[in-house]
């Protein structure tokens, strides 16, 4: 099995982690930090960093949930593209390898409304955008829906082609408080990265896993809790991270982040917390 498709078992839940492709990011563009602080981390700020884009499937008896639905879709001159890199199987190829049919997925949870997390929600067929997971309820943070109202007025926007289509077909649910989906799967609001950002908790047979979305993009952010990407609401983000860390540590939970390769756990250190590979 390739590094781009990994599976693990959390109690009765089979977790498939599908990387739809690596991208590169210049952290100097993402973080507004004083020069002195950047100079202390040459490994992070000295060259572009490579990161995956994970979509996650949760399967088990009576359970088929997808967390995030991204498509590796960059124009040829996009700075995110890594020279010479060939992306792996796309989300649908990864699901097929995991023996999951899109029509069998019951619930799709979008951690937040940034394009790489939702641009595979619909497919263009004969000039019409159709739900890629036609039998699923789709869960989006209500505050992200509210924030995209202007984009939805443009019929050609990505938001209109995806969430707009799902909304019209009555397949979209808006979430603004913790929501239990059954089988130990729960959506928990964790705003900051976006106003409606949410994480997913899976609890089965005494084991706990979180799909944290973009609560953290890099392990360094766990160790430097005041670091925040430029587009985040820093106050909300710090509050979400603090609340989350306390719970995840208590539960000794496994963690999967969209853009962190290592499946990890939080661990206390002398100065705070870190993310250790599990």
Return residues touching Zn ion (CB under 5 A): 214, 258
Is residue 244 helix, strand or coil? Answer: helix
Q: Which is nearer to Zn ion, 64 or 237 (CB)?
A: 237
- Which position has the token pair 């739809």? 20
**Closest approach of Cβ 53 to Zn ion, in Å?**
7
Of 105, 95, 17, nearest in space to 56 by CA: 17
Query: CB atoms < 10 A from the CB of 194, how many?
Result: 24
Q: Which is nearer to Zn ion, 64 or 139 (CB)?
A: 139
> Are the CB atoms for 106 and 64 separated by under 8 Å?
yes
**Closest approach of Cβ 211 to Zn ion, in Å?**
12
**Closest approach of Cβ 193 to Zn ion, in Å?**
8
Structure tokens belonging to residue 17? 């982690």
Q: Which is nearer to Zn ion, 13 or 20 (CB)?
A: 20
Q: Which is nearer to Zn ion, 54 or 57 (CB)?
A: 54
**Closest approach of Cβ 49 to Zn ion, in Å?**
13
**Closest approach of Cβ 116 to Zn ion, in Å?**
5
Cα 23 to Cα 49: distance, rounded to the nearest angstrom: 8
Cα 223 to Cα 202: distance, rounded to the nearest angstrom: 24
Cα 207 to Cα 127: distance, rounded to the nearest angstrom: 45
Partners of 268 in beta bridges: 273
Q: Which residue is nearest to Zn ion (CB)?
A: 214
- Which position has the token pair 């973080």? 31
Q: Which is nearer to Zn ion, 122 or 258 (CB)?
A: 258
């Amino acid at each position: 099995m390739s590094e781009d498709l990994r599976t693990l078992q959390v109690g009765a839940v089979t977790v498939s982690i599908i990387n739809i492709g690596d991208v590169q990011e210049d952290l100097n563009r993402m973080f507004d930090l004083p020069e002195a602080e950047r100079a202390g981390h040459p490994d992070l700020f000295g060259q572009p960093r490579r990161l995956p884009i994970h979509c996650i499937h949760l399967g088990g008896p009576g359970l088929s949930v997808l967390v995030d639905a991204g498509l590796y879709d960059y124009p040829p001159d996009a700075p995110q593209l890594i020279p010479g890199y060939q992306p792996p199987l796309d989300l649908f190829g990864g699901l097929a390898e995991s023996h999951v049919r899109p029509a069998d997925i019951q619930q799709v949870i979008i951690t937040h409304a940034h394009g790489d997390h939702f641009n595979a929600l619909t497919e263009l067929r004969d000039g019409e955008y159709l739900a890629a997971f036609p039998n699923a309820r789709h869960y989006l943070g209500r505050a992200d829906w509210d924030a995209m109202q202007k984009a939805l007025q443009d019929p050609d926007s990505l938001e209109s082609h995806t969430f707009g289509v799902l909304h019209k077909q009555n397949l979209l649910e808006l979430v603004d408080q913790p929501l239990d989906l059954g089988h130990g799967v729960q959506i928990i609001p964790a705003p900051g990265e976006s106003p409606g950002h949410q994480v997913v908790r899976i609890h089965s047979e005494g084991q706990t896993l979180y799909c944290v979305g973009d609560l953290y993009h890099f392990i360094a952010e766990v160790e430097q809790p005041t670091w925040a990407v430029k587009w985040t609401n820093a106050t909300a983000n710090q509050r979400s991270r603090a609340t989350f860390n306390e719970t995840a540590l208590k539960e000794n939970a496994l963690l999967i982040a969209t853009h962190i390769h290592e499946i990890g756990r939080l661990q206390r250190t002398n100065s705070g917390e870190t993310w250790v590979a599990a």
